[in-house]
Structure 1
Amino acid sequence: MKTFIKIFPLLLGAIFFLVLGFWLGEHTTTKPEEKAVTENTTEKQATAEKPEEDKNELENELQKKGDEWAEIYPNSLEFRVYDLENEESYTYTNNEKEEKYVTASIAKVDIAMLLLHEKEEKQEDLTEEETDLLSSMIMHSDNEAATTILDSLGGYSSLQQLFDDLEMNDTKADEETWGKTTTTTKDQIKLLQELYTPSQYLNEDSQKQIIDLMDQIDPDQSWGIYAGSSDVTFKNGWLPNDINDEWTVTSIGKVTRGDNSYLAVALSDQNPTIEEGSQVIEDLTRISSDYLL
């Protein structure tokens, strides 16, 4: 009995520490669910930070290369790409002002979209003449074909209606000639989204018809964003200034490599030549492809 009395406090102490250990273990050990939540949260934070890092890095590279060209051949340029996978835009400009640029022949894509939209609305097929004019306008950049098509649709007011319908609020059709339509890179990205992604303005067949023509541009027009990949559908524009010898040089389209692709818009003026205007666009497009494709 005396022995039991001596041992009893020791047993109580052992039981106390044993219970305390279980209690601490239960309340301090991270449960599997809690650990998974923590890991998922950390992973999401890392994923969110990565695109921001990539965006800063790409835009820094665009800024560096664009500024190098601006010292050699001063012009006014805005360049924008839109990554279709992460739905992120990346831009470069050497102009401190928010400038609107003349479209030149990239407006022919607008006219093509307007024509096929009108045909959809009327539930009509293209006539043989319209098909020939459309092909000539896009593939060969035929100005007369563009004018003929637009006149048949109602002229500049119908073109402005397209811009209004697509909420291209900074784009204005010129009353005298479609080639002097003024626009911004943001608005041109909106236009390209209507052409290359699911759209309320064009059905898939109409989109494909225009895109197929933009895949068959005359070889002598293979410059601008064409330099971004071996898989590019595009349209370029070039227009001399009425007053001096400077050129407007523009380029729009979609650049693809494998499963990755992005939309690209380059608007510029005050270029000494078409070639010099296109060179900077090509360099900026190659840099974009290195990061996005």
Structure 2
Amino acid sequence: MTASVSVALSERSYGDDGRAYPCASIVKVSILAARLLRGGPLTGPERELARAMITRSDNEAASALYATVGGPPGLDAAHARLGLTATTADRAWGLTRTTARDQLTLLDAVFGGGFPELAEVTALMGEIAPEQSWGVSAAGEGWALKNGWMPMRATGLWVVHSVGRAAGGRLIAVLSEGHPTMAEGVAAVEEAVRTALLPPDPPVG
């Protein structure tokens, strides 16, 4: 299987034709957004779960909040409200399927100001644990991101994603799968980020 990488940037996408990928942990952004869209502030315990889920990618915290929003029906309802059209929730939240374009739509909802109740998501995506702050951050400082990674049980190959706001305030979603190792997936994602966001080197001579 050849690795696949899809990129969506500022309402422009390439490297895919609406290809859907399993979300892995980038779905945690959606889970928190779904809870916040239900209305009312997070409780103290929910705030602790949200911080663990986003900044450290804690899976138990994600499962607890997923139950709070009503599982797949609740997540699908939140996605519909936010304008995602090609994302389908799964009972196992990490297997929710999405596209780069839909992730860009989600990022626009989170960072664009149209949903002020999602400001807490923005803040937490800027506080990612250092060991998980790869991907979108390859374009420079000032990032806010969420990454996702997991080996697929059927193949052993890795899904590796990075979504967020890059340096300069540009929104980008990079989704990929089919990598022999996580490290190779991270390298491919960061190369895609740099290619999409950084100016080319000036000609020599």
TM-score above 0.5: yes
- Give secondary structure in 2 for the equivalent of 1:163: helix
Q: Which has the higher helix share?
A: 1
Give structure 1 regions of 4+ aligned residues with deviation exceeding 6 angstroms. Answer: none
Q: Does 1:168 align with 2:84?
A: yes
**Equivalent-residue separation in structure 1 for 2:71 and 2:8 (angstroms):** 29
**Equivalent-residue separation in structure 1 for 2:93 and 2:177 (angstroms):** 17
Tell which has more relative contact order, 1 or 2 (C-alpha 8 A, sep 6+). Answer: 2
The CA RMSD over aligned residues, in Å, is 1.8
**Equivalent-residue separation in structure 2 for 1:239 and 1:276 (angstroms):** 13
- Give secondary structure in 2 for the equivalent of 1:190: helix
- Offset at 1:139? 0.5
Q: Which residue of 1 aligns with 2:108?
A: 193
Q: Which residue of 1 aligns with 2:96?
A: 181
**Equivalent-residue separation in structure 1 for 2:14 and 2:188 (angstroms):** 11
- The 5 Å alignment of 1:24-173 reads 74-82=2-10, 89-93=11-15, 98-119=18-39, 124-173=40-89
Q: Is the contact made by 1:229 and 1:289 (CA closer than 8 Å) also made in structure 2? A: no
> Any unmatched runs of 5+ in structure 2?
201-205
Matched residue count: 200
Q: Percent sequence identity over matched residues? A: 32
- Offset at 1:270? 0.8
**Equivalent-residue separation in structure 1 for 2:122 and 2:143 (angstroms):** 10
Q: Which residue of 1 aligns with 2:194?
A: 286
**Equivalent-residue separation in structure 2 for 1:158 and 1:195 (angstroms):** 18
Q: Which residue of 1 aligns with 2:170?
A: 262
Output the amino acid matched with 1:144.
E
| CA offsets 1:191-222 (integer angstroms, 9 cap, x no match) | 111011131xx32xx33321111111111112
Q: Which residue of 2 aligns with 1:239?
A: 150
Alpha-carbon distance change, 107 to 231 in structure 1, aligned in 2, over 3 angstroms? same
Q: Which residue of 2 aligns with 1:217?
A: 128
- Normalised by the size of structure 2, how large is the TM-score? 0.91
Output the amino acid matched with 2:150.
L
Q: Is the contact made by 2:31 and 2:69 (CA closer than 8 Å) also made in structure 1? A: no
Output the amino acid matched with 2:171.
L
Output the amino acid matched with 1:150.
Y
**Equivalent-residue separation in structure 2 for 1:219 and 1:104 (angstroms):** 19
Output the amino acid matched with 2:6.
E
**Equivalent-residue separation in structure 2 for 1:128 and 1:167 (angstroms):** 29
| CA offsets 1:92-137 (integer angstroms, 9 cap, x no match) | 31x6x64211111000000111111112xxxx32211011001000
**Equivalent-residue separation in structure 2 for 1:250 and 1:273 (angstroms):** 13
**Equivalent-residue separation in structure 2 for 1:151 and 1:208 (angstroms):** 22
